[in-house]
Chains A and B, each alone.
Chain A
């Protein structure tokens, strides 16, 4: 008590000094009681000023004290190199919790958990086991979108002269690792080409360097590898060129996953040669462009452009399936864009004499009908019917239902339903005699059929309440609703939301059918879209069946 007397005396002598409003806490490693020393703590005041922001650094015991705060609502952040920055109260997708302080109050035990980040390191080796220098190493997260796994790059590195790479500051989670040798220069006709794709994920960011022989010689850049008929294939951990055989590394908080060896795989390459012409004139045109890509690899594979005036093209690729596509952008509003697309299997020999015949784009028209409304009458709800077809964007529509896509390229079309109007759902889409809402359809020329979309105003709603073991509402849980399998690609019927303070989430715009709902306290964003992940939780989901206009309520026990 004596210790406090001088402070009290000071306060009594100087009443104009605001009372020392104070926050105390410990920064510790998440999931442990281990302190994090030398972490930076930042306390901000909601609706505050710059001089309301206070900082502290934790001591050897992870402790911090922030004094002289103004009364009000404060947020407490902590950060240290090698940890994921976090806020007091934050956990997974759950946001932080502000702290309301009254004047003179001392609030203790404001503890912030920091998740340590991890490391994945290893070496890339050539086919003979020597270090592969300058190879690109891509560290990706698998994300599931409409049930499909796609890899999104989180870090891109390059090996050093010892073939070593080290990816750090990785949040806990599962990662795919892939080595991609540098794209080699090559010879196309009598042009020396240095690919712009010296790094993956940079397609189209800058043009290839194309040099005439004399320029390539005077710059002294010509390399023997440009004349090689072999190429490296991308290799996934643990040593496969097949993405579906790649293994994910489950990186624990703060883990160092080292010693990966990715050995390069070389393959012979073959030419794909042909000509690109217009189906209208039968002639080539210098404005036509041709690209080759591997389905599923996206932009990994080099595109390449035909620049030969006679329309000829010459690609050199490893064995595999390719999509060869050609296009021409229209030069004036009188013209149409032109496209061609063909699939090619390259096995063990050159492919010659491919003719890529560009066809003019065509138009597709259709009509949206809202069930029970008079047709052909202006109605503001039509403008709220939002959908796209893959690669086409939003339709040009009007407020009485008709819509059109003026430039459709040949290929497959699938629906992406963004949002039905409130209380409505997408009931059907008929193209001629076929129902295509869930399956999509293929179009290769100007159709005679129209696309008839029916929207029903009788959508169902499911309200989920998330509770814990003691039947208390859980805020900040990730709640997912999953449709039956046939409609799994429908993002209007498969979605997630975060529970509110009452533990509630409402899913509306639902079509009649069977659904399953889940609630997780903590789950990586989008992970529930992975069928493998979902299967492991199958027994913990709650089924719900809805009819038109159903208003169902379900209670979900949070999955921890």
Chain B
């Protein structure tokens, strides 16, 4: 390049980036990669694009000085960004200063993989339109469950193909098309996320088709690899980059289902009306069903119930219900008939919510979640003096939840008479006379964390988590999470004063730290931290690789 041209370029102040895109697995060059450089804080139209050539090389010209994010896309590879530590992680901006060419950056792209296979039934026939899911563990409120990252339907041969999966561990499940069932006077046909109902009486009058599966009281269960209906017993596939994994056949399992039926009575044993009846499987987020027959009837009728333990809650109205009943029901291998659900007056719990010299925000609502699946709700906002009432409680043990709490407030205390309502279950029964006294406070603290690696260098894109001390581990509202920037810094704010442990992970599944089993191996690596009211703490934390 001659000197004049170089000066012109310098005057214009535009720069170039050139580099190579390679396959992460073997460092071979990757052609046909789509690259875009997007100016940070600039106009989208000033973004520049490029495509890598046969040697994986690319060059982006005409970039003004500034900060850019560089994204890389290629079919069959995980979308990548310049500076990211691992696929799916945040990248770092690329700084350009006038008139220079940034040479020789090398960006590795990780190949995605596919899982394919077949779903069959006990007779080895293909199962058509079954939903097959690739799952990963997820954590919520300390509970581990498997969540789908991708799902597909089997075709007429029972075959499926899940693709575009980043390497890693995956669980695999197959769920056949849900079985229609008869419940009360209706024929219920599940479809999609809902179901349709038709009147059994009308169907019978015209002699119309009834799905035979609705008649034989059975259903097909979700099956997990290697062939279990128990998600906890599922085993993972270790999916290597760029592979086509032929999964063993998933064989569906059919099981009997049962009815749960009974009458609704008042305390004198007389027939009593019901507005809604809900069946909730204990220790599960699934199988919440509402009886359709319940409307203004003195009976309830659930069809197609799987064996298990359930909470049945009946109410005689919506938010204004004044009578409710509760039964814990165990469904074994026969219909559960002739139950009596006794309706009793619901319990109303009065209380007061206050905040040091300020009005409690109107959006704040008190909720009490029962271990019996009952939920007590505060319908109206707290009055000017902070008084509120929680309706629809049935006798049982409850955990206090505050909804709509602004981020800068924390619950300093909650007491029912002499009892602590914040960190322990509250037992409520018909004789409750104490008021629930809740005190909110804005005196939250903050923590500036710096995550460092083995050699004390700042660790970017690390997950920094502040975990409450062991006696308050179930208080999921106390946890604080942030991701470190390129200098390894993360700011945790709005922290309720108290004792905590600080952790930093380079790679961890979201909320896994709320699960005692998942946290145990790391317990000793946490740094104890105490946050005072309005306190500000700085702490360096070694990142867990």
Chain A positions near chain B (C-beta within 8 angstroms): 38, 40, 42, 44-50, 52-53, 55, 73-75, 77, 79, 81-82, 85, 87, 98, 119, 130-131, 133, 160-162, 164, 166, 168-169, 187, 190-192, 213-214, 216-217, 220, 222-228
**Known contacts A119-B156, A187-B45, A190-B45: A160-B205 contact under CB 8 Å:** no
Interface residues of B in 1-54 (CB under 8 A from A): 34-36, 38, 40-45, 47, 49-51
Indicate if the CB atoms of B215 and A213 lie closer than 8 Å.
no
Residue of A47, A161, A169, A192 touching B164 (CB-CB under 8 A)? A161
With A and B bound together, what is the CA distance between A119 and B114 in angstroms? Answer: 24
Indicate if the CB atoms of A220 and B42 lie closer than 8 Å.
no
Indicate if the CB atoms of A49 and B207 lie closer than 8 Å.
no
Indicate if the CB atoms of A49 and B204 lie closer than 8 Å.
yes
In the complex, besides A160-B161, A227-B36, 20 extra interface pairs with C-beta distance below 8 angstroms are A38-B125, A44-B207, A44-B209, A45-B204, A47-B205, A55-B216, A82-B128, A98-B207, A133-B163, A164-B161, A168-B128, A169-B128, A187-B45, A192-B44, A217-B69, A220-B81, A222-B69, A222-B71, A224-B50, A226-B36
With A and B bound together, what is the CA distance between A50 and B123 in angstroms? Answer: 28
The 8 A CB mask of B88-119 against A (1 = contact, 0 = none) is: 00110000000000000000000010100000
9 pairs of residues in contact across A and B, judged by CB atoms under 8 Å: A44-B209, A48-B207, A55-B215, A77-B209, A81-B125, A160-B114, A190-B45, A217-B38, A220-B71
> Which has the most chain A C-beta neighbours within 10 Å: B81, B91, B155?
B155
Contacts of B271 in A (CB 8 A): none
Residue of B38, B204, B209 touching A213 (CB-CB under 8 A)? B38
Contacts of B112 in A (CB 8 A): 161
**Known contacts A47-B204, A50-B182, A168-B155: A213-B210 contact under CB 8 Å:** no
B68 to chain A: closest residue by CB: A217
Indicate if the CB atoms of B40 and A217 lie closer than 8 Å.
yes
Indicate if the CB atoms of B205 and A46 lie closer than 8 Å.
yes
Residue of A81, A87, A225 touching B34 (CB-CB under 8 A)? A225
Indicate if the CB atoms of B44 and A190 lie closer than 8 Å.
yes
Q: Write the nearest CB–CB distance from A66 to chain B, whole angstroms.
A: 12
Contacts of A213 in B (CB 8 A): 38, 41-44
Q: Is B76 an interface residue (CB 8 A)?
A: yes
With A and B bound together, what is the CA distance between A40 and B81 in angstroms? Answer: 55
Indicate if the CB atoms of B91 and A220 lie closer than 8 Å.
yes
**Known contacts A119-B156, A217-B69, A223-B34: A46-B207 contact under CB 8 Å:** yes
**Known contacts A44-B208, A46-B206, A48-B204: A81-B128 contact under CB 8 Å:** yes
Contacts of A45 in B (CB 8 A): 204, 207
Contacts of A220 in B (CB 8 A): 69, 71, 79, 81, 90-91
B206 to chain A: closest residue by CB: A46
Q: Is B220 an interface residue (CB 8 A)?
A: no
Indicate if the CB atoms of B156 and A166 lie closer than 8 Å.
yes
A132 to chain B: closest residue by CB: B75
Q: Is B200 an interface residue (CB 8 A)?
A: yes
Q: Is B322 an interface residue (CB 8 A)?
A: no
The 8 A CB mask of B194-232 against A (1 = contact, 0 = none) is: 000000100011111111100110000000000000000
Q: Write the nearest CB–CB distance from A118 to chain B, whole angstroms.
A: 10
Indicate if the CB atoms of B156 and A168 lie closer than 8 Å.
yes
Contacts of B128 in A (CB 8 A): 81-82, 168-169
Indicate if the CB atoms of A133 and B75 lie closer than 8 Å.
yes
B50 to chain A: closest residue by CB: A224
Q: Write the nearest CB–CB distance from A338 to chain B, whole angstroms.
A: 31
8 interchain residue pairs of minimum CB distance: A168-B156, A46-B207, A161-B163, A224-B34, A224-B36, A44-B207, A75-B207, A55-B212
A222 to chain B: closest residue by CB: B38
Q: Is B249 an interface residue (CB 8 A)?
A: no
Q: Is B73 an interface residue (CB 8 A)?
A: yes
**Known contacts A168-B155, A214-B41, A222-B36: A47-B69 contact under CB 8 Å:** no
> Which has the most chain A C-beta neighbours within 10 Å: B35, B69, B91?
B69
Contacts of A73 in B (CB 8 A): 207
B155 to chain A: closest residue by CB: A166
Contacts of A131 in B (CB 8 A): 75
Contacts of A75 in B (CB 8 A): 207-208
Q: Write the nearest CB–CB distance from A190 to chain B, whole angstroms.
A: 5
